[in-house]
């Protein structure tokens, strides 16, 4: 076995997780705080959605390294599907609030997709922790079982 490696995926996921979580909080506060919170959520959604592309690319690399007979593979598939669902919900929330390049006033469909994205993100994060701490995926331990 070679030197321990440090995977890129866990380092990259912090950006979309933070941006999307804060965007959901700003979205939920926007009925009371108005346009500034709604605008902030839109900016955070855009940053998170772009940053997530890099995190998902690195995650695919980690996914490919899991042995085909590993019990971690089923968990990794669920993690990946939930992360992709979160991306779709957050991208939809961003698109729903755009009118040209101007952010429009709060709309319930955009808020609902933001909350749905957060629920998927939380579940994906829990499964990601399970992959790392139970199965050692992404670390220097073998991921075959």
Asked, for residue 107, whether it belongs to a domain, the answer is yes
Asked if the model's pLDDT at residue 27 lies above 80, the reply is: yes
Asked, for residue 2, whether it belongs to a domain, the answer is no
Give residue 31's domain range: 9-133
What confidence score (pLDDT) does residue 55 get?
97
Half-sphere exposure in the Cβ direction for 21 (13 Å, CA): 10
Helix (H, G, I), strand (E, B) or coil at 98: strand
Asked, for residue 22, whether it belongs to a domain, the answer is yes
Q: What is the per-residue DSSP string for 30-62? A: HHHH-HHHHHHHHHHHHHHHHHHHHHHHHHHHH
Asked, for residue 13, whether it belongs to a domain, the answer is yes
Asked, for residue 90, whether it belongs to a domain, the answer is yes
Question: Quick one: pLDDT band at residue 143, thresholds 50, 70, 90?
Answer: very low
Least Cα distance to 139 among 1, 2, 7 occurs for 7
What confidence score (pLDDT) does residue 13 get?
96
Question: Quick one: pLDDT band at residue 144, thresholds 50, 70, 90?
Answer: very low
Asked, for residue 66, whether it belongs to a domain, the answer is yes
Contact 17, 121 (CB under 8 A): yes
**Overall average pLDDT of the 119-139 stretch:** 93
Asked, for residue 4, whether it belongs to a domain, the answer is no
Asked, for residue 31, whether it belongs to a domain, the answer is yes
Contact 97, 42 (CB under 8 A): yes
Please count the other Cβ atoms lying within 10 Å of the Cβ belonging to residue 71: 13
What does R_g of the chain's alpha carbons equal in angstroms?
A: 17
**Tally of domains in the chain:** 1
């Amino acid at each position: 076995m070679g030197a321990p490696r440090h995977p890129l995926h866990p380092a990259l996921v912090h950006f979309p997780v933070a941006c999307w979580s804060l965007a959901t909080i700003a979205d939920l506060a926007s009925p009371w705080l108005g346009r500034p919170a709604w605008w902030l959520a839109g900016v955070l959604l855009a940053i998170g959605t772009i940053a997530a592309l890099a995190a998902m690319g690195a995650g695919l690399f980690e996914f490919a390294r899991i042995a085909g007979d590993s019990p971690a593979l089923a968990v990794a598939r669920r993690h990946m599907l939930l992360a992709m669902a979160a991306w779709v919900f957050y991208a939809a929330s961003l698109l729903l609030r755009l009118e040209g390049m101007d952010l429009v006033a709060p709309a319930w469909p955009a808020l609902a997709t933001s909350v749905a994205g957060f629920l998927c993100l939380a579940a994906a994060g829990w499964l990601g922790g399970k992959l790392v701490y139970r199965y050692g995926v992404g670390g220097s331990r073998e991921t075959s079982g």
